Structure 1
């Protein structure tokens, strides 16, 4: 069996880790467990030492995504499991994720149900994110922002340079796997209530997640964004021409400008498609 590394990003999560790490060690006694300490000021180092797990410290906070990248680089296992250090994820579910990897998937995501969402607002936002990502990728995305996932290490490390340092690493990695034709599975899970206070700011990070979705869409399939925008400009120009011709029998500069904008936006989409192809090209 491939060696397993479990990476837990944590910032001031000592209260949760004190309970979580012993349970995780019991559930996966042979796994390499790495707590990536994102500039914690509590007793996280002592908790890790007492639990006998690897503690990877940072002198200051770099972000959740940065912690994931540091942990992925340090891990020695062929299979990686990422889970939050706040106690929301059940260590017993790690085995369920790994079972799906054994069936040929390259990434398995623990998909939370509605009852596992942190409030109605977060649940509605995640539903919107999932729908948008599904439309952009053409694949069913059951939980775009879940931080509980199992991956093949070699596949995941291909995309480390694309991952942001903030909370949106799940979004980026999911899109990247779909774009590279690496099969992704979703496994329903129940997520518990976190221990302590959340580090996510709903409004600020909600806007950031939406921006990340559109940014990654340009890396995934740019024409799915640029082609509709181009069509909108063309139709607006056509509508403006129909109005001005019916009322004055003439073609205005506004119609010409909109048609030109449509052509330019479409050409930008074509160039972006070529850049995307180069981004994901793998040398033989």
Structure 2
């Protein structure tokens, strides 16, 4: 078995791969390199063949997460490196991340600085995700959505069934590792400007990124998300009741509705918490 497998999901990233693959082969000559072609219509497969790199091709696009899962299943190494195929990540950082992994961690994530963010909007969104994930886990999450990470194969494969086919495998895998008490570390990196155009569209994918926020809570500890919402409904019901009692001397349907909503949301949180425990029961 090779000790290290490098997995690159790619969709029409031929231009970037033509530059990246020779650098990867030079930096990690003994590693297994797998490009997962997610239904590309460019020359991705030919570039991989010319470089002597394995290429797993899909007949149509299944999503970034699906490519990650296919690559993780096919990899022979006991450590996996995930890199974007768009040329943003520097192969020279792999050894630094492997050294950090050897300090006793199960996952090391390359944390981008502000200058490496793809625009102000994406930077602000990632800052919000990092803050929320840090609050949920009780640990500093420096870059929740980074696609550059090194993991131990056996640990990562435990959660393949949980990873989405689309966005966002980094969020899901990070929260799963924290929830299962697998040590996670962050290592500062510089990400270059991607080659070619991004596959992310703000209008199309805005809702998906919003759902990441809710996924963070439900993956780690649902009650931390549902309990505050339940408390908010309860307080609003109390405020409404105080107002109507002082002015009209009565209890209104709105107050009753808000108190009922508080109970329902709290019970949903309890059920979700139990489902989460069952999901992770093999790893707790």
User: Is the CA contact (8 Å cut-off) linking 2:226 and 2:269 kept in structure 1?
Assistant: yes
- Residues 110-259 of structure 1 correspond to what in structure 2 (within 5 A)? 110-259=110-259
Query: 3-state SS of the aligned residue for 2:146?
Result: coil
Higher deviation after alignment, 91-100 or 123-132: 123-132
SS in 2 for 1:62: coil
How far, CA to CA, are the matches of 1:58 and 1:51 in structure 2?
A: 19
> Secondary structure of 2:167's match?
coil
Q: Shift of residue 270 of structure 1?
A: 1.0
Task: Identify the residue that residue 105 of structure 2 maps to in structure 1.
Answer: 105
| Residues matched between the structures, number | 284
| CA distance, structure 1, for counterparts of residue 34 and residue 70 of structure 2 | 10
RMSD across aligned C-alpha pairs, in angstroms? 1.6
TM-fit CA distance, 1:283: 7.6
**Equivalence for 1:24:** 24
On the 8 A contact 1:15/1:195 being kept in 2, the answer is yes
Unaligned runs of 5+ in 2: none
**TM-score of the aligned structures, taking structure 2 as reference length:** 0.96
Q: How does 1:40-119 map to 2 (within 5 A)?
A: 40-119=40-119
Moved more, 14-23 or 119-128: 119-128
Task: Report the 3-state secondary structure (helix = DSSP H, G, I; strand = E; otherwise coil) of the residue aligned with 2:55.
Answer: strand
**Per-residue CA distance 1:40-96 (angstroms, 9 max, x = gap):** 111111211121111111111111111000000000111000001111100000111
Secondary structure of 1:56's aligned partner: strand
How many Å separate the matches in 1 of 2:193 and 2:162?
A: 30
SS at match of 1:49: helix
Which of structure 1's runs of 4+ aligned residues deviate more than 3 A? none
| 1:220-266, Cα deviation, whole Å (9 max, x unpaired) | 11111110111111111111121122122222332222222212211
C-alpha separation in 1, matches of 2:35 and 2:44: 9
Contact 1:15 1:196 in 2 (8 A): yes
Tell me, what secondary structure is at the counterpart of 1:55?
strand
Q: 1:2 offset after TM fit, Å? A: 7.1
8 Å CA contact 1:125–1:206 kept in 2: the answer is no
* TM norm structure 1: 0.96
> Aligned equivalents of 1:50 and 1:176: distance in 2?
37
Q: Conserved in 1, the CA contact under 8 Å of 2:133 and 2:216? A: no
**C-alpha distance in 1 between matches for 2:124 and 2:238:** 37
Q: CA shift at 1:100, angstroms?
A: 1.0
Secondary structure of 2:191 counterpart: coil
Gaps of 5+ in 1: none
